[in-house]
């Protein structure tokens, strides 16, 4: 079953957005960037004397800060102390400021001996300057790392959604039952057979498409194609009740958000019921939000015969909503004894 | 040959109906939409061959076939499936025929001709047909000549007496010929032994009662008592404690 493959690509152990400084490549690249910044500073602050010595001194100080910080962060990461994003941010900033403070003190105490750099009179100024520079740089770096991480995550989650949709599509039962339906209709009702092929094509096309976000109307159309196909197969066992707002809502959302939910509803809620049941799809604007609910009857649980779970699809939809609406959208699962409802709450103002 | 077609999906049934109509020497006996209906029709219509879908709501095709195999004159069962990886292996080992959907006419013809020979019908009669697959959802008993289905979850206990096993269930009791050992192997996940002659449904368990050194199982919904043997006492105690 496709579940194994799904699991292997979900493995997202990389929960922190900070790059792994234990990795030699990353470490070297960091030192290179630090050195380049050191050269920029040296050039900007050069006020006579030997340029190479000036660059050298600033480089030594900054490389020390960079190197020590990277090593400490690597150790902290190995201890597993980088938990949430907030924790990571706070730890990184503290470690950087601490090493900056340490290196600044060292250079202040070495300065008089080696006869260079600031004198004891401007200790306060030097410390304040160094700490500000370090704070600004670490802030910029963290922002960059975070954006980079987020866009990577975006790509990953999107790719996973498409893969999951495709896997659902080529789930042998769905595929061959659809083919069987078409084979049957080709003879008796060629018009319906033609429609079924068109719908099946739409579904495959959307799971192979590259769009990350589409209009709600398009997603609804795709969902209808899917329902039409299943209606041919399940007959009056499948009843779908739509409750849509009078005005078509202008809303973009991640592609393949609704259709997989309806697919779950049919697979878990309708197919196991001999007499079938009804799926309710409701789209309701509620103060600045759009509420989209999909509900299905709960099939009586049979001893030892459970249909394989659907958590993967739900988790993935939640992730994509989070990314698309920066956390402003949410998903609720409401389970009663008789009905299972998934409700999406999507902000109207922002587009995905 | 009379052929019974079983499938929960209408297009799948109508395609097979049409194909059977194209075969010479064979007629349609009827159409069933799930396992329970198939079992009913297998008795009342007495088909020679059943074309049985595997995945159906309620009772699936494999379980229906296992019950049908216990009829006096069981029809040959040919499974039809869109795809079913683990079941297909079992078919190979039991030399049971199966057809992949969409079914091809010449394959259907060949399977029906093969099933029409008596050896094939006998092959599917075996009592332990697919017994290594999932446990059944129902126990099938013969009451005055007709089959009665008892959902396994409605069973309180199995009690072996000489030749038969009594199945005590929500609606009363029935007798079956299965061996208690086989029942334990099949339903061991939800039933446990309290005595050499008794298997009890965990979900129906009330508690334990001791009178004059005789230990007995009590039930939540009925007043029946079953003796716990000395050998099974420690195990039963453990189970009751863990509830």
CA distances (Å), origin B121, targets B81, B107, B116:
20, 18, 7
A300 touches chain B (CB under 8 A): no
The alpha-carbon gap from A196 to the nearest alpha carbon of chain B, in Å, equals 12
Q: How many CB pairs under 8 A join A and B?
A: 70
pTM: 0.70
What was the pLDDT predicted at B120?
45
A233 touches chain B (CB under 8 A): yes
Q: Quick one: average pLDDT of A270-299?
A: 92
B188 touches chain A (CB under 8 A): no
What was the pLDDT predicted at A321?
87
In this complex, the residue of A273, A302, A304 whose CB is nearest that of residue B189 is A304
pLDDT band at B213 (very low <50, low <70, confident <90, very high): confident
CA distances (Å), origin B2, targets A236, A241, B194:
28, 41, 47
Residue B132: is its pLDDT beyond 80?
no
SS3 for B97? coil
The alpha-carbon gap from B209 to the nearest alpha carbon of chain A, in Å, equals 28
pLDDT digit string (tens) for B97-117? 889 999 999 999 999 988 877
Mutate to test the interface with B, among A184, A195, A238 (most CBs of B within 10 A): A184
In this complex, the residue of A188, A273, A303 whose CB is nearest that of residue B152 is A303
In chain A, pLDDT over 90 holds for what percent of residues? 39
Give the H or E element holding residue A228: helix A216-234
Q: How far apart are CA A193 and CA B137, in angstroms?
A: 36
pLDDT band at A210 (very low <50, low <70, confident <90, very high): low
The alpha-carbon gap from B30 to the nearest alpha carbon of chain A, in Å, equals 18
Average pLDDT score, chain A: 84
Residue A24: is its pLDDT beyond 60?
yes
Q: Quick one: average pLDDT of B171-190?
A: 90
A177 touches chain B (CB under 8 A): yes
Burial class (CB in 10 A: 0-12, 13-18, 19+), A208: exposed
Residue of chain A minimizing CA distance to B203: A303
B46 touches chain A (CB under 8 A): no
Q: At what angle do helices B35-44 and B61-68 cross, to 10 degrees?
A: 30
Residue A47: is its pLDDT beyond 70?
yes
Tell me how far the alpha carbon of residue A180 is from its chain's centroid.
Answer: 37
Q: How far apart are CA A166 and CA A205, in angstroms?
A: 9
What was the pLDDT predicted at A350?
46
Give the H or E element holding residue B135: none
What was the pLDDT predicted at B89?
66
Buried b (16+ CB within 10 A) or exposed e, B42-54: beeeebbbbbbbb
In this complex, the residue of A184, A234, A303 whose CB is nearest that of residue B15 is A184
Strand boundaries in A235-316, DSSP class E: 238-243, 252-254, 277-286, 289-297
The answer to whether the beta carbons of residues B59 and B35 sit under 8 Å apart is: yes
Residue B191: phi and psi, rounded to 5, are: -120, 150
In this complex, the residue of B57, B85, B134 whose CB is nearest that of residue A273 is B57
Chain B residue numbers with beta carbons less than 8 Å from the beta carbon of A180 are 9, 11-12, 15, 82, 101-102
Residue A296: is its pLDDT beyond 90?
yes
Q: How far apart are CA A200 and CA A174, in angstroms?
A: 10
Tell me how far the alpha carbon of residue B165 is from its chain's centroid.
Answer: 16
Chain B residue numbers with beta carbons less than 8 Å from the beta carbon of A187 are 15, 18
**Cβ-Cβ contacts under 8 Å for A286 (sequence gap 6 or more):** none
The answer to whether the beta carbons of residues B226 and B157 sit under 8 Å apart is: yes
pLDDT digit string (tens) for A299-334? 776 544 555 556 677 888 888 888 888 888 999 999
SS3 for B53? strand
CA distances (Å), origin B193, targets A236, A338, B168, B201, B207:
45, 34, 15, 9, 14
What was the pLDDT predicted at A112?
66
Burial class (CB in 10 A: 0-12, 13-18, 19+), B30: middle
The alpha-carbon gap from B207 to the nearest alpha carbon of chain A, in Å, equals 22
Q: At what angle do helices A172-188 and A190-208 cross, to 10 degrees?
A: 150
The alpha-carbon gap from B188 to the nearest alpha carbon of chain A, in Å, equals 11
Number of H helices, E strands in chain B: 8, 15
Residue A288: is its pLDDT beyond 80?
yes
Residue of chain B minimizing CA distance to A193: B11
A322 touches chain B (CB under 8 A): no
pLDDT digit string (tens) for A226-243? 999 999 999 999 999 999
A179 touches chain B (CB under 8 A): yes
The answer to whether the beta carbons of residues A341 and A293 sit under 8 Å apart is: yes
What was the pLDDT predicted at B45?
94
Residue B187: is its pLDDT beyond 80?
yes
A101 touches chain B (CB under 8 A): no
What was the pLDDT predicted at A301?
63
């Amino acid at each position: 079953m496709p579940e194994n493959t799904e699991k292997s690509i979900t493995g997202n152990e990389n929960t922190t957005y900070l790059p792994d400084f234990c990795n030699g490549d990353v470490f070297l690249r960091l030192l290179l960037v630090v050195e380049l910044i050191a050269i920029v500073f040296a050039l900007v602050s050069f006020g006579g004397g030997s340029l190479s010595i000036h660059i050298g001194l600033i480089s030594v100080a900054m490389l020390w800060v960079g190197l020590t910080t990277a090593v400490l962060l690597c150790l902290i990461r190995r201890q597993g102390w980088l938990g949430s994003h907030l924790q990571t941010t706070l730890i990184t900033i503290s470690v950087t400021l601490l090493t900056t403070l340490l290196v600044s003190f060292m250079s202040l105490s070495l300065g008089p001996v080696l006869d260079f750099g600031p004198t004891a009179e401007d200790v306060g100024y030097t410390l304040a300057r160094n700490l500000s520079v370090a704070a600004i740089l670490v802030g910029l770096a963290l922002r960059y790392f975070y954006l980079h991480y987020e866009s990577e995550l975006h790509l990953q989650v999107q790719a996973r959604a498409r893969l999951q949709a495709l896997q659902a599509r080529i789930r042998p039962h769905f595929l061959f039952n659809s083919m069987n339906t078409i084979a049957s209709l080709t003879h008796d009702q060629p018009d319906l057979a033609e429609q079924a092929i068109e719908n099946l094509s739409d579904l495959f096309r959307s799971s192979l498409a590259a769009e990350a976000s589409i209009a709600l109307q398009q997603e609804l159309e795709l969902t209808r194609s899917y329902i039409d196909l299943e209606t041919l197969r399940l007959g009056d066992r499948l009843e779908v009740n739509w409750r849509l707002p009078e005005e078509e809502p202008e809303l973009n959302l991640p592609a393949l958000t609704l259709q997989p939910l309806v697919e779950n509803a049919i697979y878990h809620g309708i197919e196991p019921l001999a007499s079938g049941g009804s799926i309710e799809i409701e789209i309701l604007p509620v103060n600045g939000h759009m509420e989209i609910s999909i509900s299905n009857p709960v099939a009586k649980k049979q001893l030892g015969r459970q249909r394989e779970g659907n958590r993967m699809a739900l988790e993935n939809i939640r992730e994509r909503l989070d990314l698309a609406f920066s956390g402003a959208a949410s998903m609720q699962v409401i389970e009663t004894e008789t009905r299972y409802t998934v409700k999406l709450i999507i902000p109207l103002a922002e587009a995905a | 040959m009379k052929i019974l077609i079983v499938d929960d999906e209408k297009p799948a049934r109508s395609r097979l109906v049409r194909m059977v109509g194209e075969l010479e020497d064979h007629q349609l006996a009827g159409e069933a939409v799930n396992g329970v209906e198939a079992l009913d029709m297998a008795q009342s219509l007495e088909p020679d061959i059943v074309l049985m879908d595997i995945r159906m709501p309620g009772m699936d095709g494999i379980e229906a076939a296992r019950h049908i195999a216990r009829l006096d004159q069981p029809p040959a069962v040919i499974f039809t499936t869109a795809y079913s990886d683990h079941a297909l292996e079992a078919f190979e080992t039991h030399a049971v025929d199966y057809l992949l959907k969409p079914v091809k006419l010449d394959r259907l013809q060949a399977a029906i001709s093969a099933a029409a020979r008596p050896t094939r019908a006998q092959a599917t009669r075996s009592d332990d047909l697919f017994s290594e697959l999932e446990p059944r959802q129902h126990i099938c008993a013969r009451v005055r000549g007709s089959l009665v289905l008892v959902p396994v979850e409605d069973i309180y206990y199995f009690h072996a007496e000489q030749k038969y096993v009594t199945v005590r269930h929500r609606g009363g009791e029935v007798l079956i010929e299965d061996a208690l050992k086989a029942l334990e192997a099949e339903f061991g996940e939800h039933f446990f032994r309290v005595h050499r002659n008794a298997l009890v449904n965990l979900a129906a368990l009330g508690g334990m009662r001791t009178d004059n050194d005789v230990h007995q199982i009590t039930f939540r919904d009925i007043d029946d008592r079953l003796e716990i043997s000395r050998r099974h006492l420690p195990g039963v105690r453990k189970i009751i404690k863990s509830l």
